[in-house]
Amino acid sequence: MYSAYVFDLDGTIYVGNALLPGAAETITALRAAARRTIFLSNNPTKTREQYAAKLTHLGIPTSEEDIVTSSFVLVQWLQGAAPNARLFVVGEDPLKADLREAGFQFSEKAGEIDIVVASFDRTFVYHKLRVAFDAIRAGARLVGTNPDRYCPTPDGGEPDAAAIIAAIEACTGVACDPIVGKPSPIMVSMAMSLLDLPAHRCMMVGDRLETDIKMGLEAGMATCLVLTGDATRETLAASGLKPTLVLEQINGVLPEGGGAT
């Protein structure tokens, strides 16, 4: 077993409001074995407190200190890189709440906006695209929360932040940089500082090749791909990525022997 396990949420621990098979039992067993467990999510539509409450309600008691979200990472990055920036946020209320709590001010006037934040936004309309367009043409920087193309849902999925980012990039000709969520090294750094362990003693567990597995491999962590969400054996073969484990269900993370200690 490894000293710490870093779990994705959507498509790995649950889909919608339903736990995936073996998720609660796996987390419980790892904690009983004194293994650290934390959760990373690129989904910025809930605060850390809301994610902790959801996991606890589903039977996995969790504190917000053990959750890292793309919105939380974005706040930390902005506080270091542009603490006085005025923002225009293409995103939902939980992301805006995190940014307001950190002291950031918002504007919809192009000349006042320093940074456009592009994120998962189910209320995206042309007006938001136009404000972002005008702000960036006036010199604002474009940054993003996460690169996910879609978010898994019980009925399949819904367009995620990549669609919003692509729309803004397409009309402005400006690349979004940085995108702070997985597989960004910014997200890796936040997770590793929380764990305070060497990467080789940690395992990243997730369902997405281009975010979860790529991040874990680039960080030097062991990786486990679970086939309960985005990835399939066919997409794995086509990707060229080589996770440490490939599992049909998450409870296979619990080995009878072997692994780092």
**Among 134, 149, 172, residue at a domain's last position:** 172
Residue 131 lies in a domain: yes
Range of the domain at 151: 82-172
Share of the chain above pLDDT 70, in %: 98
Q: With contact defined as beta carbons under 8 Å apart, do 118 and 148 qualify? A: no
Query: What is the domain count for the chain?
Result: 2
At 220 the pLDDT is 97
Residue 57 lies in a domain: no
Mean pLDDT of 12-32: 96
pTM of the model: 0.92
Residue 258 lies in a domain: no
Q: What is the pLDDT of residues 79-93, one digit of tens each?
A: 999 999 999 999 999
Same domain for 187 and 161? no
Residue 119 lies in a domain: yes
**Among 152, 172, 192, residue at a domain's last position:** 172
CA distance 123 to 112: 23
Q: What is the CATH number of the domain that holds 94?
A: 3.40.50.1000
Pick from 15, 51, 4: nearest CA to 204: 4
